[in-house]
Amino acid sequence: MSFAPTASTVLNSQNAWMRILAALEMKVNRQSFHTWLKPTRFSHANGRTVFVRIPSAQFQHIGDRYADLIHEAIDNLSLEVDEVRFVTAEDDPAAPKSREDGGFAPLPSHSPNAPQGSGSPSGSHRAAQQQPQMPSAEQGRFDWNTAAQLNQRYLFENFVIGSGNQFAHAASQAVAERPSKAYNPLFLYGGVGMGKTHLMHAIGHEVKRRNPHATISYVSGEKFTNEMIDSMRNNRQTSFRDKFRTVDVLLIDDIQFLAGKERTQEEFFHTFNALHESMKQIVIASDRPPKELADFEDRLRSRFEWGLIADIQPPDLETKVAILQKKAESEQTVLPTDVAMFIAGNVRTNVRELEGALIRLVAWCSLHGVEITLSTAQQCLKQFIDTQVRKITIEAIQRATAEQFGMKISELKQKNNSRQIVVPRQIAMYLAKQMTEASLPEIGRQFGGKHHTTVMHSIAKIDEQRRTDKALNSTISKLMETLN
């Protein structure tokens, strides 16, 4: 078997930032990662300096806060990067100034004279010295719609089809082939790292391939919200509206982020109507189905159900092996089948974690100058896999909760509505939602067949009480600690 040497595993700068992010995701707590790091995008590179676009100046601190981890990742992954600089659209001379929104989107990496923004550096690596330059007319002949917003790797041909995602994949392809005619909206939902974003970007690429004039906008629920707030602050509501209401295809990711944000939901409601009425395609991705989107206006939830709802289920073992082999192939790494089986069998269900394991393995073998074999994989991924094994289950939550309240597990599942039972049951349901990836119907099933709305109500209740009731809050924190 062969393993590509360090130089060939060092990918282009865009990939470098993605790999750094993947490494950070393993080190940084989930909340911080999603808030501060996930919204970043590769902007451009200048020599060995990588410029990363941040949505606003508020994010500047990540350059200091994560400096050590970033440099550790650069070293561990043997990336040809000296420095990472974080730049807002305003700081970034490469930003398309005509975009009123401040264009938070990655810039092309192909320009040899890619500009250097001011940006906050990620610590002490030296800065590149070239002067900023806009891409020349020839170099600049790219399309912001595609080049700026869609990840070039997220194509249909890079997507591995398995039983869990077959339906969502077929629906996405139909939409890409016949935008606004097949299903409108297309609502994709599934757990973390299941490929929703990948499919959305693939739709964008395919629409663009078939119709280069099509305008496509990909935006996360969080970015939509931030941009709306910014537009209100700067009196630019009209350009904000125009931006989203005039596209041919709107791809909106992580719509669940709009939960409880009434003003943003209202704005999105009008955006949705404007697009739908003018026969423009809308694709929405969410971590749960429309019915489970708590704190959403009914009129929005019902619109989400107008078109087609497609779920993505976790991949089975064979699909996981195929995904791993495809990823390895794209990095010119040979991954023996027994190693792929080992990773697929031990890493839960999240494809991002699967990729994380592969990246870690490739980097580890590269650092130690050894080949990828079953035994090196076992050695290198031991800690990674141990964490996976400690997966929290609903049964474990029920056991810990029953113990805490001195009751039997079976009592938590009974149809008994006395307060002594209702409160612990609600707490356990709340913990199940917080600490596992189970859906509301699944939680309901495991608590004696409760309806998902009952589960939703219980969770909301505990969530609210926890804020004011110190005793309840400390019981929950204690239970979480025990379970972790």
Is 25 one of the binding residues for ligand ATP (CB under 6 A)? no
CB 429 within 8 A of CB 443: yes
Which C-beta is closer to ligand ATP: that of 121 or that of 193? Answer: 193
Least separation in angstroms between residue 285's CB and ligand ATP is: 6
Distances (CA, A) of 284 to 189, 281, 290: 8, 10, 10
Name the strand (E) or helix (H) holding 460: helix 452-468
The reply to whether 198 sits near ligand ATP by the rule CB under 6 A is yes
Q: Which of 85, 196, 205, 276 forms a contact with ligand ATP (CB under 6 A)?
A: 196
The smaller minimum CB distance to ligand ATP, of residues 117 and 221, is found at: 221
Which window, 54-62, 177-185, 190-198, 385-393, contacts ligand ATP (CB under 6 A)?
Answer: 190-198
Rounded to a whole number of angstroms, the minimum distance from the CB of residue 151 to ligand ATP is 8
Minimum distance from residue 61 beta carbon to ligand ATP (Å): 23
The span of 52-60, 127-135, 348-356, 375-383 binding ligand ATP (CB under 6 A) equals: 348-356
Q: Candidates 93-101, 349-357, 401-409, 459-467: pick the segment binding ligand ATP (CB under 6 A).
A: 349-357
Residues 48-77 that bind ligand ATP (CB under 6 A): none
Asked if 192 touches ligand ATP (CB under 6 A), the answer is yes
Is 355 an interacting residue with respect to ligand ATP (CB under 6 A)?
yes
Q: How many CB atoms lie within 10 A of CB 329?
A: 12
Distance CA 96, CA 117 (A): 13
- Helices 337-346 and 382-389: crossing angle in degrees, nearest 10, is 30
Annotated binding site: 193, 195-197
Contacts 24+ apart (CB under 8 A), 449-453: 452/291, 452/292
d(CA 45, CA 260) in angstroms, rounded, equals 38
Quick one: which segment of 44-52, 65-73, 187-195, 261-269 binds ligand ATP (CB under 6 A)?
Answer: 187-195
Q: Compute the least distance from the CB of residue 420 to ligand ATP, in Å.
A: 38
State how far Cα 450 lies from the chain centre: 30
Compute the distance between CA of residue 336 and CA of residue 358 in angstroms, rounded to an integer. 12
Q: Using CB under 6 A, which of the segments 127-135, 189-197, 404-412, 445-453 binds ligand ATP?
A: 189-197
- Does residue 351 interact with ligand ATP by CB under 6 A? yes
Residue 194 engages ligand ATP in binding (rule: CB under 6 A): yes
By C-beta, is 42 or 405 nearer to ligand ATP? 42
Residue 268 beta carbon to ligand ATP: minimum distance, rounded to whole angstroms: 18
The reply on whether position 193 binds ligand ATP by CB under 6 A is: yes
x/- mask, ligand ATP, residues 260-279, rule CB under 6 A, reads --------------------
Which of 84, 75, 66 lies closest to 126 in space, CA to CA?
Answer: 84
Q: Which stretch binds ligand ATP (CB under 6 A): 95-103, 192-200, 221-229, 476-484?
A: 192-200
- Whether omega before 108 lies within 30 degrees of 0, making that bond cis, reads no
| Min CB(462)–ligand ATP separation in Å | 24
Question: What's 61's DSSP letter?
Answer: G
**Contact in structure between 324 and 354 (CB atoms under 8 Å):** yes
H or E element, residue 282: strand 281-286
The upper half-sphere exposure of residue 158, i.e. CA atoms within 13 Å in the direction of its Cβ, equals 20
Contact between residue 293 and residue 259 where contact means Cβ atoms under 8 Å apart: yes
Residue number closest to ligand ATP, CB atom: 195
Please list, residue by residue across 21-46, b when 16 or more beta carbons sit within 10 angstroms of its beta carbon and e when fewer do: bbbbbbebeeeebbebbbbbbbbbbb
Residue 43 interacts with ligand ATP (CB under 6 A): yes or no: no
Q: How far is the CB of 139 from ligand ATP (least distance, A)?
A: 28
Positions 124 through 183 that interact with ligand ATP (CB under 6 A): 154, 158-160, 165
Q: How far is the CB of 337 from ligand ATP (least distance, A)?
A: 18
Binding-site residue positions for ATP: 193, 195-197
Sole binder of ligand ATP in the list 9, 111, 184, 197 (CB under 6 A): 197
Q: Is 190 in the site for ligand ATP (CB under 6 A)?
A: yes
Distance, in Å, from the CA atom of 239 to the CA atom of 247, rounded to the nearest integer, reads 13
Q: Tell me the CB-side half-sphere exposure of residue 389, using CA atoms within 13 A.
A: 9
Query: Do 344 and 324 meet the contact criterion of CB atoms below 8 Å apart?
Result: yes
Separation of first and last alpha carbons in the chain:
39
Size of the site for ligand ATP (CB under 6 A): 19
User: Under a CB-based contact definition with an 8 Å cutoff, are residues 219 and 244 in contact?
Assistant: yes
241 vs 352, beta carbon nearer ligand ATP: 352
- Binding-site member from 108, 135, 195, 204 for ligand ATP (CB under 6 A): 195
Under the criterion CB under 6 A, does residue 352 sit at the interface with ligand ATP? yes
- Residue of 267, 287, 292, 311 that binds ligand ATP (CB under 6 A): 287
Q: In what order do the strands lie in the sheet with 120-121?
A: 41-46, 49-53, 83-87, 120-121
* 137 φ, ψ (degrees, to nearest 5): -55, -45
| Site of interaction with ligand ATP (CB under 6 A) | 154, 158-160, 165, 190, 192-198, 254, 287, 323, 351-352, 355
